[in-house]
Amino acid sequence: MIENLLEPFTLGSLTVALLSLLLLRQLCFGFISRGKRKDLPGPRALPLLGNLHQLDLKRLDSHLTQLSQKYGPVFRVFMAHKKVVVLAGYKTVKQALVNQAEDFGEREVFPIFHDFNKGNGILFTNGNQWREMRRFTLGTLKDFGMGKRIMEEKIVEECQYLIEEFEQHKGEAFDGAQVISYAASNIISTLMYGKRFDYKDPNLQAMISRDQEIIYHTGSPSIQMYNIFPWLGPFLKTWWVIMRELQTRAKHGKRILTELKESLNPGKCRGLVDVFLTHKKDLEDADVNNLYYHDDNLLHTTWNLFAAGTDTTADTLKWGLLFLAKYPHIQDRVQEELSRVVGNRQVRVEDRKNLPYVEAVIHETQRLANVVPMSLPHRTSRDTAFQGYFIGKGTMVIPLLTSVLYDESEWATPHTFNPAHFLDDQGRFVRRDAFMPFSAGRRMCLGEGLARMVLFLFFTSLLQRFHFKPAPGVSEDDLDLTPVVGFTLHPLPHKLRATDRF
């Protein structure tokens, strides 16, 4: 009977029938699965525009934080056709970036980020390119003393140059923003090139000014629109400004690399660039297929480190001095602890454990300053289940650091400068898991250890030597803490007096 039923079928037709049944089963399973998935909450989107008409692109992090209060810690918005998942609050961001690090570990590469790197470097890459450059960079920076005593000596030396610059103003009000950036940049320059630049060097001044311009414009509403509609680029003045600065930066960077190549001594590497060039030559001599060690990758890797290491560290120092000038009772307590524990000698990293209030003030500065409010955008590496929601592979994800650093369930007074956030009842320093200015997980800042050392030594060296006050005629209450909003947040232009303590 069965044989008779099968007789009309050929092997080919039977195979087609089986495949059809399997396909039908898969489709049914897919519909059932989708029916069980919860839709991500979020504001109602319009065709073509998505939610663009509703979003405040001038301060997107604050607006998304407000939306999270309505839609919860995981929600979605549409940037025109592009779906973006927003993660808000400490617990949610930690779950994604730490507990599900592989799922949320890729970088979303905006069109402007591609303009920056063209697929090279560390910050705006994925896959083997990112892994190899991160491995090489971390290993090399550690070899050159990142986090060790040898690096501490170089930072202390740079502190003295910065102090001398402040002393030249003899207690008169001045804007120290640029010279602080020069000092922070010199720490990276020492690691990259094996040398520092004089603060009056026009090349250093031009490089800092150029990078600040690029970083500021990258966060502008017009460039956010370009990231959504790349065809807009040539019609946007801001895009042309960035392209011009990128071209100038590339010429300057190539000139420095050429000089380093001409003076290269493989037996005595001065910094990361020398190590990269030496490794590149070794691969060429061994006739090994070299995918990563080429000049474009070197150029963009060094710029990534300069931009990330200079801007965020310098901005945090600027915020710190502004906070202390605004809150003199906190500055007095910092200086009392420094005098009692350290005295007049040079502060060392090992003193950190005996300076709990100083540590609390530095951490609170990083928290409240919120220099990188939305981190760098992430992307899911695969289909992901998260808090009951389905997030497809390749979805852009914003870990909203503003919502972490100002999380009302984690911080007693999230919107005020309060060092007690990092102190226990006995005045001992307390680490807080919700302290995430460097982000978290696979993509957290690879220079965190260096940044912490620079902030501690610069901050304490300046506070040992100077007392910071508002300019004459300006009260503490008049000091404005409103940030200048670009891709990062830095203080408005202002002048302070650095008066001698001794």
Per the annotation, binding residues for heme are 445
Hey, what are 295's tokens?
Answer: 């000049």
Residues at the binding site are 445
Number of other residues whose CB lies within 10 A of the CB of residue 427: 11
Between CA 160 and CA 365 the distance in angstroms is 23
Report how far apart, in Å, the C-alpha atoms of 218 and of each of 30, 113, 245, 344, 397 are. Answer: 40, 9, 12, 43, 18
Give the integer Cα–Cα distance in Å for 212 and 312. 11
Distance CA 114, CA 453 (A): 31
Give 230: exposed, middle or buried? Use CB within 10 Å, 0-12, 13-18, 19+.
middle
Residue in this structure with the two tokens 């100077």, named with its chain if needed: 466
Concatenate the DSSP letters of all residues of 192-233 into one string.
HHS----TT-HHHHHHHHHHHHHHHHHTSHHHHHHHH-GGGG
HSE-up of 90 (CA within 13 Å, CB side)? 15
To 10 degrees, what angle do helices 127-143 and 272-285 make? 120
**Angstrom distance (rounded) from CA 47 to CA 187:** 49
Nearest to 140 by CA among 275, 309, 278: 275
CA 136/CA 53 separation, integer angstroms: 43
Q: How far does Cα 48 stand from its chain's mean position?
A: 31
